[in-house]
Amino acid sequence: MSTPPVISEKQSLYQDDPLLPTYDQQTPTPPRSSAQKGKKALLNLLGLCVAGYLTLSFINSTSGLSSALANSGSAPHTQSTCQQSPILTPRGNLTDVYAGDSKERIIQWLSGAVQIPTEAYDDMADVEGDARFKVFGDFHNYLEEKFPALYKTLSVEKVNTYALAYEWKGSNPSLKPLFLTAHQDVVPVERSTVHDWQHPPFSGHYDGEYIWGRGASDDKTGLISIMSAVELLIESGFKPTRSLVLAYGFDEECGGKVVKHSPPGAAALGKHLEQKYGKDSMLMLVDEGSGLDERYGQTIAEPSTGKKGYLDVELSIATPGGHSSVPPPHTGIGLLALAINELEANPVPAHMDRKNPLYSALQCYAHYGNLDKEVKDVLKKAGGGGKKGDKALKKLTDIIAKMGGGAKAHVTTTRAVDIVRGGVKVNALPELSQAVINHRINPASSVAELQDQMIQVLQPLTEQYELSFHAFGNKISELKDARGTLTLAEAYNSALEPAPISPSTTDSFAWNLLSGSAKDTWTSRKGADHTDLIMVPGLGIGNTDTKRYWNLTSNIYRFGYLLRADADGIHTVNEHVKADAVVEAVRFMQRLILNADEYDGN
């Protein structure tokens, strides 16, 4: 097979951007993540992997698709043995993505997609009023040009101008469609960092091993892998029995915030799809998410079966102005600093219940992995229930919380003060001082519980400094001679409850379908003697467009068939992805589509 030609930076569709200069460089060696050796297994698994080398044994059934997916009831939240789904191999219509020019086409498709700078900014207005959205029209034209069979075969709808919805109608309308989604937008490139990139950020440069550029892995690999899988299946003559629905928003990277009365991106798509197909109308949904990790001698895949909730809070303090030569003990900015200090000094307490996907993941690692003996013992006691079990669960939560950083984030509501503003003149007292505080809500908590916690923390401060206190539309206290007013309010229409938890055990057809397709993709490429892939449920601490699709299915999985070591630079300089990994993602998408099509249940 011939090697695909190197795509030069000078071929970029947007090479005229003066902030994105083209230049020639010697191809560098892409940075690789080094294995973190010597750390405890629990700390590493909370980073979506487990440390050390694992010796695993599991149920490797060879039964067929119908028996593997037969049970469609709701799965329990935990199972002590962490049973593994069997490998599911489609009966036919698989295309060899490494044969002929298929691999070259996939690489070129992604490279060209990266060259179109579909950047999404937090301050973008309605689609009709902001010229920065127009680049998405160029991206639509690119997709139509590069995937002609798909555009000829599938119906295509544009929702709110730039969101895309496709349907490949199956022959049996009684079967619920498989729903695959990704997002078109990318994180903006900080122009001051352009010269830190080893290849210009919108070059789509392919060096023979990696494809470079913003969006190469997040999330144009996801989008292009879906499009490529469908295009190649159509070319192979495949005709679906079960319908396939694809949807691509355009504002995932700015949170999909609703602007005025015009819900952009995935919010508009979710509303459109629900009106068209109805509630609970999809078989299952697969979106971007965590992938695969093989650094520890055993490949682990950890699809997110749940997501934390979300709330941005604007903290405002209004105080009388005046000349700075006669200041009060605390200016508005000083009071704001005191309020921030109170919130940071009183974080939301850590808490984990048995519905948290992390608990299920720990059960899996305890069964198969090399967790500390103390953690295994606590897990065993926690599984017993009753007062002793609850006490053990609390101890387990405390162990995780004391690890700090990313580990603690899995068992608490996080709080981050990210924006501060106040004052307009150095000799004038500030009249309005504000901070915006980001929260990611524990799956065992709620928006209302978080709001109550903030009120309880700040109320003593407002009493001490004689401030009126308004919070989330309610007047907590109103002082006649107040020295100012402290107000808490939801910012950016951001409130989001924690996501419903998707099933993750072998009595769920959806989990079997996802797991079996991933396992078949892995073993068919690596060979029968290669250690099998282990599927573990996980908790996502960020959010994706799936938050707009909750009404469409209870089987929602955030999972990208991509090895951790094959992609780097997400949301920063030098984003790149291994070309072979993109091809493997296409192989997974084909198997998922075909396996879903061969399943005759709903």
DSSP state of 81: T
Q: How many CA atoms lie within 13 A of 599 on its CB side?
A: 31
DSSP output for 537-567: -EEESS--GGGG-GGG-S-EEEEEEEEGGGE
Q: What tokens were used for 284? A: 């299952």
Q: Does the active-site annotation cover 185? A: yes
Angle at 187 between CA 185 and CA 192, to 5 degrees: 140
Using alpha carbons, select from 521, 599, 583 the residue that is nearest to residue 67.
599
| Cα-based distances in Å from 222 to 167, 246, 289, 501, 588 | 18, 12, 10, 23, 11
Q: What tokens were used for 5? A: 């030609």
Catalytic pick among 119, 167, 185, 253: 185
| Cα-based distances in Å from 593 to 65, 66, 173, 382 | 13, 15, 16, 39
Angle at 180 between CA 498 and CA 133, to 5 degrees: 85
β-bridge mates for residue 309, sequence order: 441
Q: CA torsion, points 447, 452, 458, 460, in degrees to nearest 10?
A: 180
The torsion angles phi and psi of 113, rounded to 5 degrees, stand at: -65, -40
Helices (H) and strands (E) in the chain, counts: 15, 19
At 602 the three-state DSSP class reads: coil
Q: Does the active-site annotation cover 532? A: no
Alpha-helical regions (H) of 249-313: 265-277
Question: Is the bond leading into 219 cis (omega within 30 degrees of zero)?
Answer: yes
Using alpha carbons, select from 117, 142, 137, 140 the residue that is nearest to residue 127.
137
Catalytic pick among 219, 251, 252, 545: 252
- HEC profile of 442-496: CCCCCHHHHHHHHHHHHHHHHHHCCCEEEECCEEEECCCCCCCEEEEEECCCCCE
| Residues 6+ positions from 300 with CB-CB distance below 8 Å | 48, 49, 50, 292, 293, 294, 533, 534, 536
DSSP state of 177: P
Active-site annotation, residues: 185, 252
